[in-house]
Amino acid sequence: MQRLDAVSFALAGAIYGAAVMALATIAALAGIPGFRPFADFVTQFYGPYGYSVSPLGVVAGAIWGLVEGFVHFGIFALLYNLVLGRLRS
């Protein structure tokens, strides 16, 4: 098995997280069934930091998705590489 490039993996996760948050907020704004409960759930956590189901919320959600995706995917890659190193030795 190959090691993961943690920074590249984290950047890919950041892009993914930003896209998911922005598209989910746009879908909730458009009234597509099933997206409003998700957006309301996210508002509970990121509402105090600028997120809402609004055009400005699309930008705030994308920024928070970017940050969260980078952090979580980066941690995953680092842990994966750590476990992989231990399995090889």
Decide if 2 is inside a domain: no
pLDDT value at 54 more than 90:
yes
Contact between 32 and 88 (Cβ < 8 Å): no
Owning domain of residue 45: 13-88
Report the number of distinct structural domains present in the chain: 1
The whole-chain average pLDDT of the chain stands at 95
Decide if 7 is inside a domain: no
What is the reported pLDDT for 25? 96
pTM: 0.89
Decide if 3 is inside a domain: no
Strand segments, DSSP code E, in the chain are none
Tens-digit pLDDT profile for residues 10-29: 999 999 999 999 999 999 99
Decide if 67 is inside a domain: yes
Decide if 79 is inside a domain: yes
Helix axes of 6-30 and 35-46: crossing angle, nearest 10 degrees: 120
